[in-house]
Amino acid sequence: MNGFIFDLDGVIVDTAKYHYLAWKNLANSIDIEFTELQNEELKGVSRVKSLEKILAWGNKTISETEFEALMKKKNEEYLNYISTMTSSEILPGVQAFLETIKEANKPIALGSASKNARYILDRVELRPYFDAIVDGNDVSTAKPNPEVFIKAAQTINCQAKECVVFEDSVSGIQAANTAQMYAVGIGEQHILFEAQIVFNDFKSMPSNFITELIKK
Ligand code: G6P
Ligand code: MG
């Protein structure tokens, strides 16, 4: 593999829990039930699409002004959660994994739907590892559309087939598959079964996994 593309939320940092809390509070504030199972469907999905889904689940139609206000509210709560983040919230094994890729001189890109991606990478001090960052500010379609990963691969000058994508969301795995990239799921096998391979986290990967992946 010649290009290493990482999703951010739930792969590099444990922000998925903050997205969940902020969406849950928002949904409940407008009398919509919100379960962890529904939250799985929001992982990897843009802010706009997430709110559209929540409103559809609650059978609610609102004005554009209200829609904007709710998105703002959700993001303010989310930003509040992440404002005190430190590198202690980098997920297990991630930094060592990034180090190994760097030592092998392979390019690293971020492919995230989040518009807060650069801020988060700065907070956890991981920005220097990334040769390219493609985030929610750079794409017009949300995962499972592969646009974000295709752009990331182009930015690091890699053919799609030579890229590996690390993802914790079903929509992200589908995007990587559509882009014909090698999809590694980070999370649970029964949810991410469309990935080529799934690990609970980077620490649970066998020690030869990364070296084999680099050679592949
Ligand atoms: C990621 C997360 C989603 C989130 C989306 C947009 O893909 O998995 O839960 O909604 O980014 O994030 P943002 O920070 O721009 O609201
Ligand atoms: Mg994610």
Q: What is the pLDDT of residue 207?
A: 87
Domains in the chain (CATH in brackets) are: 3-13+88-215 (3.40.50.1000), 16-82 (1.10.150.240)
Q: Which of 159, 110, 101, 167 is nearest to 134 (CA)?
A: 110
The single-letter code of the amino acid at 19 is H
Query: Other C-beta atoms within 10 Å of 144: how many?
Result: 17
ipTM of the complex: 0.97
Distance CA 114, CA 111 (A): 9
∠ Cα 124 22 97 (to 5°):
30
Catalytic annotation present for 131: no
Residue 57 structure tokens: 């689940």
One digit per residue, the tens of pLDDT, for the chain of length 216 reads 999 999 999 999 999 999 999 999 999 999 999 999 999 999 989 999 999 999 999 999 999 999 999 999 999 999 999 999 999 999 999 999 999 999 999 999 999 999 999 999 999 999 999 999 999 999 999 899 999 999 999 999 999 999 999 999 999 999 999 999 999 999 999 999 999 999 999 999 998 999 999 998
Atom of ligand 1 nearest to the CA of 43: 8
Q: Which residues form the pocket of ligand 1, taking CB atoms under 6 Å from any ligand atom?
A: 9, 19, 42-47, 50, 75, 112-116, 136, 169
**Please, is 29 exposed, middle or buried when counting C-beta atoms within 10 Å of its C-beta (0-12, 13-18, 19+)?**
exposed
Ligand nearest to the CA of 143: 1
Catalytic annotation present for 9: yes
Task: Please report the beta strands in the chain, taking only residues with DSSP state E, as ranges in sequence order.
Answer: 3-6, 108-111, 132-134, 163-167, 182-186, 197-199
* Binding site as annotated, residues for Mg(2+): 7, 9, 167-168
Q: CB neighbours of 120 closer than 8 A, spacing ≥ 6?
A: 8, 13, 15, 82, 85, 114
Say how many Å lie between the CA of residue 212 and the centre of ligand 1: 31
Residues 89/172/153/139 CA torsion (nearest 10 deg): -90
Provide the sign of the torsion angle of the four alpha carbons 209, 3, 85, 137, taken in this order: negative
Say how many Å lie between the CA of residue 186 and the centre of ligand 2: 9
Q: What is the pLDDT of residue 39?
A: 94
Distance CA 88, CA 167 (A): 20
Say how many Å lie between the CA of residue 7 and the centre of ligand 2: 5
Token pair 């070296």 is at which residue? Answer: 211
Atom of ligand 1 nearest to the CA of 19: 9
* Binding site as annotated, residues for substrate: 7-9, 23, 42-47, 50, 74, 112-116, 143
State the angle between helix axes of 16-29 and 64-82 in degrees (0 to 180), rounded to the nearest 10: 140
